[in-house]
Structure formats: structure tokens, C-alpha cells
A = this chain, B = another copy of it.
Amino acid sequence: MSRKSVSWLKLIHVVATVEADLGKVLQSDHGLGLSEYRALEVLARSPDSELRMQELAAHLRLNQSSVSRMVERLERGGLTVRDLCPDDKRGVYTVLTDKGRQRLESAQPDYEKALDAALKEHGCEDLLAERFINVAQPA
């Protein structure tokens, strides 16, 4: 096994563990999955708090069908609503509701706190060094 493989294994272990920690906090304290939380975040930062499915999928790096189901979950919880595109009737906007925004805002501090804690706990705070700021952007 190459040095590179070993390092990669270590990296993904850390990442998986931190992600699991984050997921648990969100799920137990706010009833949100990790992808759901991130979807709310992306929506909140989008113009008019809305995005089309594909755009959301691109941001989240998820399959289009996964996004479709995820949005379904969000919608069941009243955190978003679907809205048809007036110009392209194939398209569907997912729009953040007030409730969704509130849920997000209540979850955010916990998320940040949990991220800090998990990074520190696993001794990898320097992982997010400046240079990461410059890795290719989603959009």
C-alpha cells in the first residue's frame, strides 16, 4: 500500500467521523439530515431563496433523484415549497419558507459548534488551512 493510500484512508476516516458527528447533532437537536441542512443553507443564500432541482443538486453534489426526494422531505416538514417556473414548465423551484429559514437559523450555531468540536477532537484543525479556500468552487 502506497503512502498516498494510507494518507487518504486517514483523511476519509476523519472526514467520515466528523460528518457523522455533525449529522447526529442536526438530527437529534433539529430533526435535520446533513444534506437537508446544507440544502437549507444553500437556499438561504440564493436569490429569492429559491433554486431549481438541478442547481440544488449541483451545489450539494447529489444525484438529481436524491435531491428530488430530499426536497420532498423538506416539503413534508414545511421547510420549503415547490413552485413552478413560469417560463419553463419543466422546471420546479424549491423555495425556502419562513419556517425553513427559522429552522436553519436555529440549527446553524449548533452546527458550527459541533464542527469546531469535532475538528478539535480529531486533531485536524489545520486541515482547513487557507489553501482550501482556493479549491474549485461549486458555482
Contact = CB atoms under 8 A, between A and B. Distances in A.
A29 to B, nearest CB: 17
Count of identical protomers in the assembly? 2
Contacts of A127: 11
A28 interface: no
A17 interface: yes
A136 B123 contact: yes
Q: Is the interface of A mostly helix, strand, loop or mixed?
A: helix
A81 interface: no
Interface in A1-34: 1-19
A61 to B, nearest CB: 5
Interface stretch (A72-80, A87-95, A108-116): A108-116
Chain A contact patch, size range:
35 or more
Contacts of A7: 128, 132-133
A4 B116 contact: yes
A12 to B, nearest CB: 6
A131 interface: yes
17 contacts: A1-B41, A1-B45, A1-B108, A3-B133, A4-B112, A4-B115, A5-B111, A6-B133, A7-B133, A8-B18, A10-B132, A10-B133, A10-B136, A11-B15, A11-B127, A11-B135, A123-B136
